[in-house]
Amino acid sequence: MEHSLGTLLPLYSVIPFVGMLLSIALGPVLFPKFWHHHFGKVSAAWAALLAVPLIVVNGKQGVDELLHLLIADYVPFIILIGSLFTVGGGILVRTSLKGTTWVNAGFLSIGAIVASWMGTTGAAMLLIRPFLRVNKDRKYKAFMVVFFIFMVANVGGALTPLGDPPLFLGFLHGVPFFWTLRLIAPMFVVLAGLLLIYIAFDKYYLAKEQKEGSLAFASSSDDGIVTRDISSGGSTSGKKLEILGAQNFILLAAIIGVILFSGYVKMSEVSILGVHLGWQDVIRNLVLVAIMVISMKITSKAVREENEYSWGPILEIVYLFFGIFVTMAPALAILKAGESGALSFITAAVKEPAQYFWITGALSSFLDNAPTYLTFFSTALGQFYPGMAEAPAVAQFLVDKPLYLLAISAGSVFFGAVTYIGNAPNFMVRSIAEESGVKMPSFFGYMVYSFCILLPLFGIVTWLFFL
């Protein structure tokens, strides 16, 4: 059904999606007050502008497309993101560490390492608040959050299907769980490059702060650790590290367990408004909702308050990604139609690993990276094994053409860092940083960072691994 609809849709059907992206990019800059109070309405308006004509022109086919996208993709996406946000927000890390260059580099490195095992969203939600707290005395912090998004919320999730949604889709379609460990070399190149660039940035801004006299702590200390006693208002009681709400780690493990369950176990299907879902997926969604409720119940209000936990960032995701998911439906359907769709010039031009890396990546920067991954995964299977059933085709693909799947996987994960909408944690990290008083770059301002820093690194990765 997706393919047949994709062959019918004209290229101008992606205009509402472009409008949605431009609203996100320009709204906060040109109309900040209006955007702050009405961004949910703007998102709904663009969604309606797409949904109404799609349904009027295509009838039941259009309704089915939207229902499938919302029930099978959007709702599970929000539930997973919401569960990780809630559980991560219940873990409070108190520390007397101060935001020196090496402490911050350590935060970024640890975050990038754990992201592949607890998901980019889980790692980002666990570490962004303590990362901001250790840097509360620093004047220039926006660049730190940008690098946090690059390393922890995106590139660090490349090694396992738990790390990033596109890799989980690959796992569901027959890619072995540990196969993606092959991405360790390109991931290391990007992370090492980012870490070196971050250190240079941090040292520059640290020197600038010292020169301006705006730095409130002795950053020249050997290890950057200053013990302090701030008693009841978030005290570390002289401890260098203290973790509260640690029971949420058990819930985090439960989230990982139920995700693996939904990937390994195959059960009968149930129809929800005509959308067929496996019972394992329904169970996963229900368990994740239960985990959210449990986390709220077993975590003290004081811990969440000290962690500056609020529903603002997740509500922003709910509202904006509703508009994104609905308006991107035509673009995804057209891409999935391959050479029969209005974007056939893209799919027809992709032949070599380097091309798969850049095209998958470029589209993942603006579209949801999970279906984009699946689109080009299917394109590659069709290119090499036309007419073959998926299971044997995937098995043969992994043996004969592993470099193509590495390119698709790396592109979908790495390029999620190029824009704020490339990966859901990007938005949440930005929102949490802004709630903490950090003035973050605009949509296009962020892309100046990503284009100047990430694209050259991706060029090096292409030269080393995909040519």
- Asked, for residue 94, whether it belongs to a domain, the answer is yes
- Asked, for residue 255, whether it belongs to a domain, the answer is yes
Closest CA to 370 of 209, 68, 167, 180: 167
- Asked, for residue 400, whether it belongs to a domain, the answer is yes
Instruction: Give the distance, in angstroms, between the CA of residue 319 and the centroid of all CA atoms in the same chain.
Output: 16
pLDDT attached to residue 235: 46
Other beta carbons within 10 angstroms of residue 435's beta carbon come to: 15
Residues in CB range of 202: below 8 A, 6 or more apart: 101, 104, 105, 143, 144
Q: Which amino acid is located at 279 in the chain?
A: W
pLDDT attached to residue 225: 39
- Asked, for residue 228, whether it belongs to a domain, the answer is no
Q: What is the span of the domain harbouring residue 398? A: 5-210+240-466
Three-class DSSP labels, the chain: CHHHHHHHCCHHHHHHHHHHHHHHHHHHHHCHHHHHHHHHHHHHHHHHHHHHHHHHHHCHHHHHHHHHHHHHHHHHHHHHHHHHHHHHCCCEEEECECCCHHHHHHHHHHHHHHHHHHHHHHHHHHHHHHHHHHCCCCCCCHHHHHHHHHHCCCHHHCCCCCCCHHHHHHHHCCCCCCHHHHHHHHHHHHHHHHHHHHHHHHHHHHHHHHHHCCCCCCCCCCCCECCCCCCCCCCCCCCCEEEECCHHHHHHHHHHHHHHHHHHCCCCEEEECCEEEEHHHHHHHHHHHHHHHHHHHHCCHHHHHHCCCCCHHHHHHHHHHHHHHHHCHHHHHHHHCHHHCCCHHHHHHCCCHHHHHHHHHHHHCCCCHHHHHHHHHHHHHHHHCCCCCHHHHHHHHHHHCHHHHHHHHHHHHHHHHCCCCCCHHHHHHHHHHHHCCCCCCCHHHHHHHHHHHHHHHHHHHHHHHHC
pLDDT attached to residue 220: 43
Other beta carbons within 10 angstroms of residue 90's beta carbon come to: 28
- Asked, for residue 234, whether it belongs to a domain, the answer is no
Other beta carbons within 10 angstroms of residue 16's beta carbon come to: 25
* Rounded Cα distance, 281 and 259, in Å: 9
pLDDT tens track of the chain, all 467 residues? Answer: 344 677 888 888 889 988 988 888 888 878 888 988 889 999 999 999 999 988 988 888 888 888 888 888 888 888 888 888 898 888 888 877 888 899 999 999 999 998 988 888 888 988 998 999 899 888 899 999 999 999 999 999 999 888 888 888 788 778 888 899 999 999 999 999 999 999 999 999 988 888 887 555 544 444 443 333 333 344 444 557 788 888 999 998 998 889 888 878 888 889 888 888 889 989 999 999 999 999 999 999 888 888 888 888 888 888 988 998 888 888 877 877 767 777 777 777 788 999 999 999 998 888 767 778 877 887 888 778 876 777 788 889 899 999 999 999 999 999 999 998 888 789 889 988 998 889 999 989 999 999 999 999 999 999 999 98
Total tally of structural domains belonging to the chain: 1
- Asked, for residue 232, whether it belongs to a domain, the answer is no
- Asked, for residue 403, whether it belongs to a domain, the answer is yes
Distances from the Cα of 318 to the Cα of 70, 168, 257, 322, 428, angstroms:
12, 21, 24, 6, 11
pLDDT attached to residue 4: 66
Tokens standing for 462? 């292409």
Q: Which amino acid is located at 385 in the chain?
A: Y
pLDDT attached to residue 459: 96
- Asked, for residue 226, whether it belongs to a domain, the answer is no
Which sign, positive or negative, has the C-alpha torsion 175, 179, 181, 187? negative
* Rounded Cα distance, 172 and 391, in Å: 11
Identify the bridge partners of residue 255 per DSSP, sorted by sequence position: none
Q: What is the pTM of this model?
A: 0.81
pLDDT attached to residue 121: 85
Give the up-direction half-sphere exposure of residue 11: CA atoms within 13 A in the CB hemisphere: 6
Which sign, positive or negative, has the C-alpha torsion 265, 268, 273, 274? positive
Backbone angles phi, psi at 270, to 5 degrees: -130, 145
